């Protein structure tokens, strides 16, 4: 197995690297040669940058794209940059993969859905994004699938790992104050980058190309997630719940986010099995490991 991981310094890229270094990989990934590239090595938004890398390296069996512009508010302010990274980027990678015979695993988001209906979305539900980030990511899905039929699009949600994420921000705020105001009417699936990285490796070993949903199991609000993180970390901080409307009055420039964006891992369940744990279990491991690393 020869693999390339782009966006290697992001949360998901780091999780894949840690899992690989620690040998916690499915059988097909044992002994794999993996190249790790971030923006300094490959700018996925530039076809020339992608092509130069592929021309300088032996063909890959699989490319896992973890690179993206993930700042949801930033995408709203600069759609051209969002489109370049999140739509043209996967297209450039998919074209290079098709040219060299590689499969592509491209990571996408629950924010492709509008979030107007309660309940969980399955892979076949019709997307209709309401933010610039969601629109750029949906375009990336379509362009990648069109450019390389051997593409897996894996939608995930509310990711946390090593890097910038909601849980880390909440724990930082809790260290500074005794209360944090958090939205309690947006619902989704908090997902461990480490758990997702293992599932991506399993998906990459299949030829069941197309769209997958992959999140930890269970749904909660951002306020529920903050409260659980504080409980697990033993942080002495109160969550003050607010509505999206109240939040937007306090923060008028933030992007609109879907209200109900929970995903069901339906295709995993129907095919190779769903190994994703309940979100609280995964979060407990993350907080224990983060505390260990900081100790
Ligand atoms: N984070 C979430 O809550 C969430 C939720 C749902 C889906 N996802 C998806 O999951 C995937 C991984 O997310 P993540 O949280 O690991 O992201 P992340 O931590 O923001 O990492 C993304 C990485 O990609 C790099 N990058 C940005 N633009 C690039 C470009 N043009 N070429 C090459 N590299 C570039 C970034 O570099 P810089 O830091 O230097 O910009 C960063 O190292 C993404 O596809 C994201 O859309 C994330």
Q: How confident is the model at residue 295 (pLDDT cuts 50, 70, 90)?
A: low
178 CA distance to ligand 1 middle (Å): 31
pLDDT in tens, 119-162: 999 999 999 999 999 999 999 999 999 999 999 999 999 999 99
Distance CA 279, CA 177 (A): 26
85 Cβ closer than 6 Å to some ligand 1 atom: yes
Distance CA 156, CA 121 (A): 12
- Work out which ligand 1 atom sits closest to the CA atom of 158: 3
The predicted model scores a pTM of 0.97
Q: How confident is the model at residue 278 (pLDDT cuts 50, 70, 90)?
A: very high
pLDDT at 294 over 80: no
7 CA distance to ligand 1 middle (Å): 6
pLDDT at 197: 98
282 Cβ closer than 6 Å to some ligand 1 atom: no
- Counting Cα atoms < 13 Å in the Cβ hemisphere of 146 gives 10
Token pair recorded at residue 92:
């450039």
70 CA distance to ligand 1 middle (Å): 5
Catalytic residue, candidates 60, 133, 160, 286: 133
Which protein residue's CA is at the shortest distance from atom 1 of ligand 1? 159
| Residues 6+ positions from 248 with CB-CB distance below 8 Å | 254
Mutate to test the pocket of ligand 1, among 6, 8, 66, 86 (most ligand atoms within 8 A of CB): 66
Neighbours of 35 (CB within 10 A): 17
Q: How confident is the model at residue 254 (pLDDT cuts 50, 70, 90)?
A: confident
Q: How confident is the model at residue 118 (pLDDT cuts 50, 70, 90)?
A: very high
226 CA distance to ligand 1 middle (Å): 22
DSSP secondary structure of 88-143: IHHHHHHHHHHHHT-EEEEEEEGGGS---SSS-B-TTSPP---SHHHHHHHHHHHH
Q: Map out the domains of the chain with their CATH numbers.
A: 2-165+191-219+262-277 (3.40.50.720)
Mutate to test the pocket of ligand 1, among 10, 52, 63 (most ligand atoms within 8 A of CB): 10
C-beta separation of 93 from 33 below 8 A: no
pLDDT at 4: 98
163 Cβ closer than 6 Å to some ligand 1 atom: yes
pLDDT at 253: 83
3 state SS of 1? coil
């Amino acid at each position: 197995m020869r693999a390339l991981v782009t966006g290697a310094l992001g949360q998901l890229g780091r999780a894949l690297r840690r899992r690989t270094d620690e040998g916690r990989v499915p059988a097909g990934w044992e002994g794999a040669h993996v190249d790790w590239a971030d923006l300094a090595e490959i700018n996925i938004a530039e076809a020339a940058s992608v092509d130069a890398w592929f021309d300088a390296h032996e063909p890959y069996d699989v490319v896992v794209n973890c690179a993206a512009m993930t700042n949801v508010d930033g995408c709203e302010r600069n759609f051209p940059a969002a489109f370049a990274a999140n739509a043209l980027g996967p297209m450039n990678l998919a074209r290079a993969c098709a040219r060299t015979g590689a499969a592509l695993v491209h990571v996408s988001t629950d924010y492709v859905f509008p979030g107007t209906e309660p309940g969980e979305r399955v892979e076949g539900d019709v997307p209709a994004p309401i933010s610039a980030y969601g629109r750029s990511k949906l375009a990336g899905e379509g362009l990648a699938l069109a450019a390389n039929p051997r593409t897996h699009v894996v939608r995930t949600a509310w990711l946390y790992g090593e890097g910038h994420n909601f849980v880390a921000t909440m724990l930082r705020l809790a260290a500074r104050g005794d209360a944090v105001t958090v939205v309690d009417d947006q619902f989704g699936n908090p997902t461990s980058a480490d758990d997702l990285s293992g599932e991506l490796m399993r998906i990459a070993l299949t030829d069941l190309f197309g769209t997958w949903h992959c999140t930890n199991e269970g749904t909660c609000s951002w306020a529920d997630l903050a409260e659980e993180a504080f409980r697990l970390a033993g942080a002495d901080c109160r969550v003050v719940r607010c509505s999206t409307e109240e939040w937007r009055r306090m923060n008028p420039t933030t992007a609109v986010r879907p209200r109900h964006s929970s995903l069901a891992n339906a295709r995993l369940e129907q095919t190779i099995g769903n190994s994703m744990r309940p979100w609280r279990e995964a979060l407990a491991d993350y907080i224990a490991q983060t505390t260990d690393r900081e100790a």
